[in-house]
Structures are given as structure tokens and as C-alpha cells.
Amino acid sequence: MNTVIGFIGIGVMGKSMAGNLLKAGYEVYVYTRTKEKASDLISQGAKWASTPKEIAQQTNVIISMVGYPSDVEEIYLGEHGLIENGKKGTYLIDMTTSTPSLAVRIAEEAKKKGMEALDAPVSGGDIGARDAKLTIMVGGDIKAFEAVQTIFDIIGSNVVYQGPAGSGQHTKMCNQIAIASNMIGVTEAISYAKKAGLDPDRVLLSISSGAAGSWSLSNLVPRMVKGDFEPGFYIKHFIKDMKIALDEAERMGMDAPGLTLSKSLYENLAEAGEENSGTQALYKHYNN
């Protein structure tokens, strides 16, 4: 059967991901709430779908990359959604960072309709999406994963199957918890360098390749120093992720003080009007 891909959500990352699938030669249908966001992809050969229902009817592999769990729930489980209107044998791949419990529910409902659903959140931001070097964390049926692994390999360079439905989302929470505290350390380090009269770029040369090295240090600090706070990943979406992680940690009886502090700092930024800035805008907390 010829693979026809539907892609829902043409945002900062989704646009590049869908574009890479087009470049690989796949027939791709796209849907996003604002058609203008898909204009570049349409000019590259993507076909426009006016609703998720139309995506479900025209394709047999569907990828979603949207904002919030409420969006995921509507797209997959709503009356006009993918599961109600999709074809038997369709593979559903949600790459949104969402809740593990919703991922399990979607997988169960998909199976009832003869479909397979995978939760496959990603890490790597706009750069990873552009360069097809995303980390992809996959939960769901192992045979379903193997059936679509070729597609994952086109948009990511580190694709790891984590276990049954919900496992991808739990792994993404581990990722976000690690980033949350790291962003505080990274931002404080560069703020300290600035206040000590050092050249932040030269400091970065020394510390980014040592024990302090991290993706955030190497990729986001240069943006901080230049005053570039455009989103590779929105603050509002990071807050959403941290809320999910804290809810899950509480459910498991785990204390997460680093995550709690990071969430409070980012919420302060959002209240100050920075919710649509990139996560590197934490720098403003220390330097405004």
C-alpha cells in the first residue's frame, strides 16, 4: 500500500518536519488552523486539507504536532477527529508533548477501530527539526513502531522505542525535567560571566566542551548573548510541559524542587508578556 502522510500542526517545528517528509518524496497532506502557515509547504507540493477529518480520509499515516493535550484530544477523539473518521490500518503518530494517560487512551481507542497509535514526542527544537536531527521517544506497539520507523528516521537522528503506550510521553517528561533545572544553571552561569566583566562568547568556548556542557549551553546561550529571543520552543509550551511533569511526579509521590523552581521562574516571565518568546528568554529574568 502506498504511504500517504497527513501532517497536522504547521508550527515552528512542524513546518520543517513536514518539509523533510516532502523532500524525501512522500505525498503529504497538511492541516493547520491558519492556512497561511502552510503556504510554503503547499508551494513545495504539499496538499491542503481543510479539516482533520479530511486528513483522516485521505491518508494512512497521520502525524500531529500541536500545542496542548486539549488539542490532541479534540483531533484524535472528537466526533470529527481522526479515530472516528480514519481508515482501518492507519498509523496515528502524536508527536506533541502531551499526557501519558491521554496517549494510552488514544492507543486503546485506535485499536478498537483497527488502527495503531504511537506517542512519539520529540526534543531538539527548531534547529533539530530543520536539520532532521530530532530525538524521538516512542511509546506504543512495537510492531507499529517498526512499520513506521523509516518515517521517523527521515525527521530524526536519535529514534528510540521506549515501551508500551504512554512510554514516549513519560520519557519526554524526563527530558523536560532535565532541561528545566539546566536552563537555570546555564542562564545563571552566563549572567555571572557578564557581571564579572568577562566576554560571554569566550567563556562559552571554555565551558561548553567540559563537564558543564549541554545542548542548551551550546545552542541557546549564543542566542541569549545576541539578544535573540525568538522561539525555537515557546515559553508557554514549556510551562505546559512542566505542569504535566509535576502532575505526574505528584501522582508517583516524587518531590521535584528543581522543576518547581523553574516553572515558577517561567511563569513570572509569561506574566510579564514573554509567553511567546523562546525558552532562552529566561536570560531576561537575570539581566533586565
Q: Which residues are catalytic?
A: 172
Contact call for residues 253 and 260 (beta carbons, < 8 A): no
Nearest to 106 by CA among 85, 75, 80: 75
Handedness of CA 175, 275, 65, 125 (dihedral sign): negative
Q: Where are the alpha helices (DSSP H) in 113-199?
A: 125-130, 142-155, 167-195
User: DSSP 3-state assignment of 177?
Assistant: helix
What's the length of the chain?
A: 288
- Cell numbers for 186: 546555564
- Cell numbers for 267: 511563569
Handedness of CA 93, 71, 12, 34 (dihedral sign): positive
